[in-house]
Structure 1
């Protein structure tokens, strides 16, 4: 039986304890120095805050430029979805490194910051075919002992606009992707019935989950969301579908949003956000009050869409708190729970949900030993300061310390 004891750590910034891990789960928590078995490896936590490790459940590892020289954004003044897609397609082959190299570097940096779980999109279209998917799969393999990566076969340029894309998505699912992607059934493909026919048929054929980017705003987005929910109900795919972005839920009146949220809760559809800002940001409290699964992500990172993204989910947690207008510690800690345990629940709906997304989540006896030690007077201070002195543990093994991978 393998064992590791983290000594003098403060779960969620509370009182110091010793925490023992056995066979990949938290086995015991007790007073500092009270019971340290001779056969147990010890890691001095130095009084740092102990949190569940981070989960980035909306990331595009195939488009990152992290680690490469800065390249000014060339989308142009009209930042439409189509313009961003085309800018990426014009440039991704001339990045200066392969997709596999860039994805591996970005994922490694994220692990160094405290991540052990990601859901990454891999663009599949008539231009790149499976090349970008292969790069993401290579990054997943390179870091397989350090992090779990779930891959979405994602038709970024549309599912129906170019010939052969549904067949390529089918091929991607046979090649290693686990999730069927979709995007703006009305706004991009302009044929929501056929778009959703393809997505749900592929999901049933491969027994795969579904993750649909929904950038569509206002009434259009609410209409598309309603169509997706109708399909979930008709196909019996409760707990198998995620709506990513879902800007319409943040930019519409609550009397229109509330019934949609109720249906999302009923069907156990998950939501993910990248904390975009007050106009498009999700109503997090209303979502969590309904028990809806919610995760956080970095989206693209210094890519051909925008210069933002740092690979550090603690940065994105700060952004979530800032854009939600949160100032109280208990609210900021909700953001931390969304960025950690919340993402686990999005990726794996069977994850225990008996603990609410709040202070203390993910650090109790029986919880997975996927953890990160961070510097701070308390959990909120760690979000505000975002210091670099971190130790990352996956399944009871240290996989990174102060940004250096092991």
Structure 2
């Protein structure tokens, strides 16, 4: 791999520097103008260098980005949205693979090089959605790293054959075993979790469980999950998506957060706002790995999502009520390095509000150059002109893949 030098960038908004990349890692960071010439020279133009974005909760199988806008037709409940997706997805103007590939292209062009996508597997779509996300991953394999969660959105045991379909998807290239609301959807949490952990053990995979369940119910499901993590020695290999119960303010929340940190169970959020927001400062300080995701992308669930994780970092700061620069930068750190630590459990986690990792010698050369005076202004203004680097190589510039 050629030695690459990014000239005149400001790591996390600090002094102007030259950053040398080699063998897909950061080799050195020196004052601007001091690095020896590289085989590839990249003009940083005094931009802000941060780790590339990690979208750790996206549904590439349901995206409608780039297609004609459709008003939301789903009812108000989560089950209404699940069934609306089932009733509507075959009427899309393009196949799953084409839609997923185009949305992933946009995500990379805007700075995301690490992605964890859920792919629905159920009695209706069988493996069609999963295979569409597989195709998108293959199409962009040189520009981003993509994990696929085999996701039983309609439950595991409500319809026949779903565990067998999940098993097949895991053998065909799925990276993690998914699950969803063990009490509310399947209404049999022990059986649901036994199946999820059984598949994970059989295939040697990690787990990413959707947990929308609120309040005491959600904390109960979380306790059942962490009980299994401890018993099966799966520390560092399990994530909870949403974890809305942690935003309930109930007495059990503090104990749950400490338990997640102890067992190294990660949490991914989508910056939902309102009563669903998580106590992120407390979680990060406690040592919980926290990452950010876009969730749906203008799909049959909602009109939100536009492939830009910098905007989602802005949304995180806004919904958390953060105004101080250090907290807004924490949102950027969660959207970049925080998500990277969710995907790879060997990656050091964020340790506090002021922790700004990812740009030291030895760190992976997964980087994005943003425009702005400071990291906070970059989040506020979300300017174009980004340069995106994956595995030490420029893969996108000015909104286009190269």
Query: For each residue in 1:151-192, what CA deviation from the matched residue of structure 2 results, as whole angstroms up to 9, or x when unmatched?
Result: 000000111100010111011100110100000000111000
* Equivalent pairs, count: 402
Match of 1:214 among 211, 214, 218: 211
1:225-304, aligned counterparts within 5 Å?
A: 225-253=222-250, 255-304=251-300
CA distance in 2: counterparts of 1:137 and 1:357, whole angstroms: 36
TM-score normalised over the length of structure 1? 0.97
Task: Structure 1: give runs of 5+ residues left out of the alignment.
Answer: none
**How far off is 1:36 after superposition?**
2.4
Equivalent position of 1:330 in the other structure: 326
TM-score normalised over the length of structure 2? 0.98
Query: For each residue in 1:54-90, what CA deviation from the matched residue of structure 2 results, as whole angstroms up to 9, or x when unmatched?
Result: 00000000000001010111103xx211100000001
User: 2:102 matched to 1:94?
Assistant: no
**How far off is 1:389 after superposition?**
1.0
Equivalent position of 2:157 in the other structure: 160
Task: Structure 2: give runs of 5+ residues left out of the alignment.
Answer: none
**How far off is 1:357 after superposition?**
6.5
User: 2:175 matched to 1:193?
Assistant: no
CA distance in 2: counterparts of 1:30 and 1:48, whole angstroms: 15
The Cα RMSD (Å) is: 1.2
CA distance in 2: counterparts of 1:269 and 1:360, whole angstroms: 21
CA distance in 2: counterparts of 1:280 and 1:179, whole angstroms: 25
1:5-404, aligned counterparts within 5 Å?
A: 5-37=5-37, 39-76=38-75, 79-253=76-250, 255-353=251-349, 358=354, 360-404=356-400
CA distance in 2: counterparts of 1:62 and 1:276, whole angstroms: 20
**230-239 vs 46-55, which deviates more?**
230-239
SS at the partner of 2:183?
A: coil
Contact kept, 8 Å, 1:68 with 1:96, in 2: the verdict is yes
Contact kept, 8 Å, 1:330 with 1:359, in 2: the verdict is no
- How has the CA–CA distance of structure 1 residues 290 and 10 changed in structure 2, closer, same or farther, with 3 Å as cutoff? same
Contact kept, 8 Å, 1:337 with 1:358, in 2: the verdict is no
**How far off is 1:2 after superposition?**
1.9
Query: For each residue in 1:12-70, what CA deviation from the matched residue of structure 2 results, as whole angstroms up to 9, or x when unmatched?
Result: 11111111111111111111112323x53211111111110000000000000001010
**How far off is 1:235 after superposition?**
1.4
SS at the partner of 1:279?
A: helix
CA distance in 2: counterparts of 1:354 and 1:314, whole angstroms: 18
